[in-house]
């Protein structure tokens, strides 16, 4: 039978792969996709806890995570478009106005 | 090994492999397509967890709406591929080592911390659209309104950010 910890290990692995992507890749689009991957990994553990404990609050929380992910995708892609319009590049090493 | 374990292994391994491929591919379009594959496998995992409505929402919203938006923007921007080979700097190797450490820490603590838990019997009942909708619109009705306001703010913000110049 499937146990709770299998799903949690899968979630931990996907989250860590997302962390690698955010830290290693230099393309702003791919960093953005890795953030979506990490949100998805968290959703797996929320749904797993919800099913195994028999409480539906976890699945409700997944809805709000989805809402925030959709809003974040809309605003983030708008930022990416306006960055590309000004810099002609999505390399985050070249986007350094706020760095010091 | 029963059928559920086999399905979990097949789709779990596919999820991890497609996530690794997504991080390592150079072309952003191929990365996005591997991310879509990963979202599909995660939807199957939700079905194994008896969360049918969440699985459908995952396919509709993540694969259908958010990833189409991503692909649209990637193709719109016409990114030039940088020809220089990826160098293995000190920063990158440190980042990968720290992430492997994070995976080991999270994985072992979660694996040994939650051993022997079996699926709850009411899990099949709480995953349906009926049960989730009842909770969502009674207990969490205020939060639904707040989420609606958040989406409205996101739409207005996205339009303002993507405009050519402020008038």
Range of the domain at A42: 4-87
Of A10, A33, A81, the CB nearest to B12: A10
Contact status of A86 with chain B (Cβ, < 8 Å):
no
Could you state, in order of their start, the residue ranges of all structural domains in chain B? 3-79+119-162
Contact status of A4 with chain B (Cβ, < 8 Å):
yes
Q: What is the ipTM of this complex?
A: 0.91
Please give the structure tokens belonging to residue B83: 């020809």
% residues pLDDT > 90 (chain B): 59
Question: Which of 1.10.1040.10, 1.20.120.1200, 1.10.940.10, 1.10.540.10 would CATH assign to domain B3-79+119-162?
Answer: 1.20.120.1200
Instruction: Tell me if A65 is assigned to some domain.
Output: yes
**Helix (H, G, I), strand (E, B), or coil: what is residue B86?**
coil
Write out pLDDT tens, residues B43-63. Answer: 999 999 999 999 999 999 988
Instruction: Tell me if A78 is assigned to some domain.
Output: yes
CB pairs under 8 A between A and B: 225
Write out pLDDT tens, residues A25-74. Answer: 888 899 999 999 999 999 999 999 999 998 889 999 999 999 999 999 99
* Non-local CB neighbours of B42 within 8 Å, separated by 6+ positions: A40, A43, A44, B15, B58
Cα A83 off chain centre by? 20
What is the phi/psi pair of residue A91, to 5°? -70, 120
The CA distance from A72 to the nearest CA of chain B, in Å, is: 7
Query: How far apart, in whole angstroms, are the C-alpha atoms of residue B15 and residue A93?
Result: 30
Q: pTM for this structure?
A: 0.91
pLDDT at B82: 62
Q: What is the CATH number of the domain that holds A42?
A: 1.10.287.3510
Contact status of B135 with chain A (Cβ, < 8 Å):
yes
Residues of chain A positioned with their CB less than 8 A from the CB of B31: 29-30, 33
> Which of the four pLDDT bands, split at 50, 70 and 90, describes residue A3?
confident
Contact status of A95 with chain B (Cβ, < 8 Å):
no
Q: What is the number of domains present in chain A?
A: 1
């Amino acid at each position: 039978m499937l146990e709770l910890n299998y799903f949690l290990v899968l979630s931990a692995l996907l989250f860590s792969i997302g962390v690698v992507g955010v830290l290693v890749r230099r393309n702003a689009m791919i960093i953005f996709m890795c953030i979506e991957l990490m949100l998805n990994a968290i959703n797996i553990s929320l749904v797993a806890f919800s099913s195994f404990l028999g409480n539906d609050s976890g699945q409700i929380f997944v809805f709000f995570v989805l809402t925030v992910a959709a809003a974040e995708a809309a605003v983030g892609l708008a930022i990416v478009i306006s960055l590309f319009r000004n810099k002609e590049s999505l390399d985050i090493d070249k986007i350094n106005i706020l760095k010091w | 090994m029963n059928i559920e374990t086999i399905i979990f292994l097949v789709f779990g391994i596919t999820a991890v492999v497609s996530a690794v491929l997504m991080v390592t591919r150079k072309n952003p379009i191929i990365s996005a397509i591997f991310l879509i594959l990963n979202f599909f496998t995660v939807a199957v995992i939700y079905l194994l967890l008896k969360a049918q409505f969440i699985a459908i929402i995952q396919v509709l919203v993540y694969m259908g709406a958010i990833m189409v938006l991503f692909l649209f923007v990637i193709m719109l921007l016409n990114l030039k591929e940088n020809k220089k080979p990826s160098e293995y700097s000190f920063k990158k190797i440190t980042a990968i080592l720290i992430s492997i450490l994070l995976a080991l820490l999270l994985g072992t603590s979660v694996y040994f911390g939650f051993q022997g838990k079996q699926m709850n019997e009411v899990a099949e009942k709480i995953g349906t659209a009926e049960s989730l909708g009842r909770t969502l619109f009674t207990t969490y009705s205020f939060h639904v309104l707040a989420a609606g306001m958040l989406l409205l703010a996101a739409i207005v913000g996205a339009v303002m950010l993507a405009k050519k110049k402020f008038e």
